[in-house]
Structure 1
């Protein structure tokens, strides 16, 4: 699929408030939702690079040109995809009143969500037009942060910081998982770090690598990093 004008070129009013209607004539056998679902399925299975108008059209049984009234470019389709999968995130349910605990719970939900859709961290880097499902989860997160005493702008910043942390961590987690499937390279990297740590020029690194090893279980690692981030937030 060719690139559009960039995420900044997507008109959120037109996309979310006044979605394009199909041209007059015979009712199409597909919908904007069907197009989005097909694109998500492709991205989940093969990554974002696999998503093209031609392949999406084939999946919904339509001609390529007929899709453009629903998603005129890649950026628009990406916005639709992000919002579509965001419906999986909870937007209701009781909050404990302990804003740090609630924030950590939301972060764990986000991590699971991004692991189910490995293309999502990269998509969020250019995502600019929050749709209804994204807004619903944002509203829930801001409510969770209300007991912190932070003003509205600060709560938005904290949630943006949290989401960026989760996306970055998941990206690293996925890359690490891919590396473990190449044991020879992983062994070479370990030997390299051992050599660097003992060359006498990196005493801080040598001390860090010689210390007690932390659990490497992905869930435990994420929790440890998340605790450091959230527990260190200043609500003053």
Structure 2
């Protein structure tokens, strides 16, 4: 049986989860909706982090007994699936595509980054997702349409979208960590002194040359754009 922390033997039937929205899995129908449960869980994760999301905390948020939540989400892993798809609904899918797949792919990546920055728990949650809900599928459909001009087969398009999403998630995770570290200027200064010392020891000539190069803009947006351009512009169509 799955415990409160989500461990145990989690699992769900994707068809039952996504194709029967709002229907409890067992027992009487509670006086609240799956949407309310998911919204409360997302708000909790946004405010306190993913570790704060437990079935007990979410039940308290919606004013219900914890056992009644299991009718909709039998474990925390299933709740995370609902949360990921819920915030994926914030991603626009009706914007016109330019026909330039690289430009469109970069726009998609920027939308993903903005969504992950709004919900800092999302990169970690994506790593455990096992199925695609309706909002996620709508955004995937949009991305695949953007990739149509490449002429690649379906498998390659899916791989590119997965690669792009993984890049954005990893970058945002690093970005959030760096933002937290920026609150400790002494630590940053110590790190800079350490690297300068190492670069000057004669044993790391490549590092010394790299550190001596002209500095580039280090704003989060500029850094993300450089990394994204390297990734997308390097993608081939064969």
**TM-score, normalising length: structure 1:** 0.95
Out of 73-82 and 10-19, give the one that drifted further: 10-19
Separation in 2 of the partners of 1:160 and 1:6? 26
Partner of 2:91: 89
Separation in 2 of the partners of 1:187 and 1:147? 47
Please give the per-residue CA displacement for 1:184-221, whole angstroms capped at 9, x wherever unaligned.
11111111111111121111111101101110010011
Please give the per-residue CA displacement for 1:91-130, whole angstroms capped at 9, x wherever unaligned.
1121110000000001001000000000000001111111
User: Is the Cα contact below 8 Å between 1:5 and 1:75 reproduced in 2?
Assistant: no
Separation in 2 of the partners of 1:6 and 1:163? 27
Query: Closer, same or farther in 2 for the Cα pair 1:6/1:211, shift >3 Å?
Result: farther
Does 2:29 match 1:3? no
For structure 1, which runs of at least 5 residues remain unmatched after alignment?
Answer: none
Higher relative contact order (CA 8 A, sep 6+): 1
Does 2:237 match 1:221? no
Aligned-partner SS, 2:65 = coil
Does 2:32 match 1:30? yes
Separation in 2 of the partners of 1:165 and 1:186? 25
For structure 2, which runs of at least 5 residues remain unmatched after alignment?
Answer: none
Matched residues, number: 234
Out of 209-218 and 187-196, give the one that drifted further: 187-196
Q: How far does residue 10 in structure 1 lie from its aligned partner after superposition?
A: 3.0
Partner of 2:188: 186
Partner of 2:144: 142
Separation in 2 of the partners of 1:3 and 1:201? 48
Please give the per-residue CA displacement for 1:159-186, whole angstroms capped at 9, x wherever unaligned.
1000000000000000000000111111
User: Is the Cα contact below 8 Å between 2:5 and 2:76 reproduced in 1?
Assistant: yes
Separation in 2 of the partners of 1:64 and 1:122? 25
CA-based RMSD: 1.5
**TM-score, normalising length: structure 2:** 0.94
